[in-house]
Structure 1
Amino acid sequence: MKRFTLLLGRKTAHYFVYWQPLHWAEYLAELVGTAFNIFIGLSAVVFDFGQGLPMEHLIPNRSIRLLITGLIYSGSGALFAISPLGKLSGAHINPSVTLAFWVHEKMQRQDAVGYIVAQFLGSTLGAILLVLVWGKYAASVTNGMTLPGAGYALWFVFLAEVFMTSLLVLSIFLFVSNHRLMRWTPLMTWLLVAAMVWLGAPISGTSLNSARSIGPALVTGLWRDQWLYCTAPPLGALLAVAIFRQLSMGKRDVLSGKLFHVPYYRSIFKNIRVPNQFLRSHPP
């Protein structure tokens, strides 16, 4: 807080300006985590489905390859969640997750904006690395872009993305609002997102994440139907928050804004209900 004094003749006016600090370490962690998730996850897409690569012959069953892709893609996110950087930022790596925590009043507005900007930048960086490493093989799968499945109406694809994102965010909230379950949140998201990729990718590409879609689209220069992935996941996140509030009826609340809370890592989240040893040794 700063105090400014203006002298106006014989009158003195005092103005107080409040601002909240920016947490650059957490934003950088989100950028790195999102880039890692996009690069590893989409590398799995390229390796399993890229033209000219051996997986098509080693595992002819497309459904099995899709399940493997989902396990690797979501596994990279779960791995980041339990890494030092993930423990610091909370490993959202998804604007839908950040939006949900902000709407549920667990984040300051400037931190939510910082996270979301970092996630979009990280996704773009991950997509650029994908193109540089995989080249023509990445191009054969449109650089990992999310696109509506052939034969599915756009309204159905839209609803599928809303439903899957809502289920993901609601599951996260249910886990991080329970002392016994919260430590298993990364494992839950790994298995849940893998199942969604396996079942939902033929329908919508299983975005769940506007940044995940925009990064590859920006690098590829194709924007067909990308509005869908910019609107459906955030809507699903908002729906999940509303459902959680109805289910909890004020009797239980999200305990932390992190997918894997460790007490001795700094937490920038509001109204947390779990121990934080860092705050005790580093008071604000």
Structure 2
Amino acid sequence: MAIAFGRFDDSFSLGSIKAYLAEFISTFLFVFAGVGSAIAYGKLTHDAALDPAGLVAVAICHGFALFVAVSIGANISGGHVNPAVTFGLAIGGQITILTGIFYWIAQLVGAIVASFLLKFVTGGMTTPTHTLAAGVGAIEGVVMEIIITFALVYTVYATAADPKKGSLGTIAPIAIGFIVGANILAAGPFSGGSMNPARSFGPAVASGDFRDNWIYWVGPLVGGGLAGLIYPNVFMHSEHAPLANEF
């Protein structure tokens, strides 16, 4: 698998522009629902801190929202909804670097717009941001995000990007939503379970709180990049067809 930079004419074609718009819309809907679920739980319980029931509710909401966001974008942009997924696919040669940069812009703008609109429609309620839990150091947080994002991007490759996926591709959005929900349940009490730089960056911009935000860039990008190196090079090798005169 080779990393390709891409051409500007391809990146500004009508199809590419539609793909960027699809990424903006999908990421907007995902972040609006995901961050909105955390805000709503805090309002209903009069407590900004999530308890076990809140963790489950937020994990389910993120899983459902991502399932929908991936599904509605799959036939247009591939339904990345996540700069770490885009980066992992670029490392594996599934998307060009140039197109990936525009995907990033669309995803980040979608997340920022969703976060500011949430702040407006909730009457200025506090926008929750991803931060490390008490007792969790920066290194532990980065490693946690690397592991769970690797699981996410590896799942994307196995169910959506691998040419051998066959009928498994029909459940790719479900599998992707499930792994995100499961990872939030596992990592939420420690690193917050982001797996998505856009999901963390949008609320940080809306709240003006960038504390620990770098962790949600470094961890997911490293995890996504590792999946982009391992899956295509180990499991997606192409083999030549037998020659006509071979016995």
Same-fold status (TM-score > 0.5):
yes
The one-letter code matched in structure 1 to 2:88 is A
Counterpart residue number, 2:23? 30
Deviations 1:57-87 (A, max 9, x none): xxxx93232112111112112112222x443
Counterpart residue number, 1:268? none
Counterpart residue number, 2:76? 88
Structure 1 pair 47–184 and aligned structure 2 pair: CA distance change class (3 A): same
Match 2:35 to one of 39, 42, 65 = 42
Alignment RMSD, CA only?
Answer: 2.1
Distance 1:20 1:186 in 2: 27
Structure 1 pair 192–21 and aligned structure 2 pair: CA distance change class (3 A): closer
Deviations 1:82-118 (A, max 9, x none): 22x4431111110011111112112123211111100
Distance 2:236 2:194 in 1: 30
1:202 aligns with 2:189: yes
Given the two structures, how large is their TM-score scaled by the length of structure 2?
0.84
SS at structure 2 position matched to 1:82: helix
Counterpart residue number, 2:145? 161
Counterpart residue number, 1:279? none
Distance 1:246 1:86 in 2: 23
1:20 aligns with 2:10: yes
Distance 1:132 1:105 in 2: 40
Counterpart residue number, 1:229? 216
CA contact (8 A) 2:69 2:81 kept: no
> Which is higher, the Rg of structure 1 or of structure 2?
1
Query: What are structure 1's unaligned runs of at least 5 residues?
Result: 1-16, 253-284
CA contact (8 A) 1:78 1:190 kept: yes
1:1-284 matches, within 5 Å, as 19-22=9-12, 23-48=16-41, 50=42, 52-54=43-45, 62-83=51-72, 85-136=73-124, 138-139=125-126, 143-176=127-160, 177=162, 178-248=165-235, 250-251=237-238
Structure with greater helix percent: 2
SS at structure 2 position matched to 1:181: helix
Deviations 1:215-256 (A, max 9, x none): 11111111111111121111111111222145316158xxxx
CA contact (8 A) 1:81 1:90 kept: yes
CA contact (8 A) 1:47 1:55 kept: no
Distance 1:204 1:181 in 2: 31
Structure with greater strand percent: 1
Runs of 4+ in 1 over 6 A off after TM superposition: none
Structure 1 pair 154–55 and aligned structure 2 pair: CA distance change class (3 A): same
Counterpart residue number, 2:4? none
CA contact (8 A) 2:90 2:97 kept: yes
The Cα shift of 1:18 comes to 7.8
Query: What are structure 2's unaligned runs of at least 5 residues?
Result: 1-6, 240-247
Given the two structures, how large is their TM-score scaled by the length of structure 1?
0.74
SS at structure 1 position matched to 2:166: coil
CA contact (8 A) 2:67 2:174 kept: yes
Aligned residues: 225
Distance 1:181 1:29 in 2: 23
The one-letter code matched in structure 2 to 1:200 is A
CA contact (8 A) 2:113 2:202 kept: yes
CA contact (8 A) 1:32 1:122 kept: yes
The one-letter code matched in structure 2 to 1:53 is L
